Structure 1
Amino acid sequence: MADPDPRVDLVWGPYARALGINLQRARAERGLSQEEVARQAGISGYTYYKYERGRSRPDTPMNPQLRALLALCQVLEVSLEDLLPPDCPDLRAGA
């Protein structure tokens, strides 16, 4: 597997942060704590905390698994389309 293209983080980072903001807003609208959302979605509280900040490992934009995103949508009672930011970045290699 090839090393990730560092240029991808330049477009993925802002998208990941926008996704985190959407998670935070949806959680606030439901009146849930981060811990409640994480527990109900089956992920750790620390992982969810980082998701709301758009982060994964230090200095790395989050890239949650589809299963985690779908669980979060169910807990937050939003569609995946409503959770994802509208402007999807171009992630094609060499683009």
Structure 2
Amino acid sequence: MADLIPPALPSVSLLLASVAVLVSLARLTFPAPSGRHRRPVRPDAVRRRPLEVPLDGGAARLVRPYVIAAEQAARRRELLLADFGIDGPGPYVIHGVEVAA
């Protein structure tokens, strides 16, 4: 059986060289977008309306997410214990309504 690799080497190397040239030309012609692969936004394309009334920072109640998560975990634990008839300490409020102990 004849070895087919040596006669195929010149044509394969020519093919790889031509592919490399085409890839480099494509990269020069079409540069990759920067950032998160988005087109840059022109500043005049974004129109923002000025606020008529400035925002009041004191009107909104800011709560850290971990505080809410801890409260939810405590509520779930109390409801789970209530399923088994165990009353937990603290105010007995379910869904914002105070209930009898």
TM over 0.5: no
Larger RCO (CA under 8 A, 6+ residues apart): 1
Greater Rg over alpha carbons, structure: 2
Length-normalised TM-score, structure 1: 0.28
Length-normalised TM-score, structure 2: 0.27
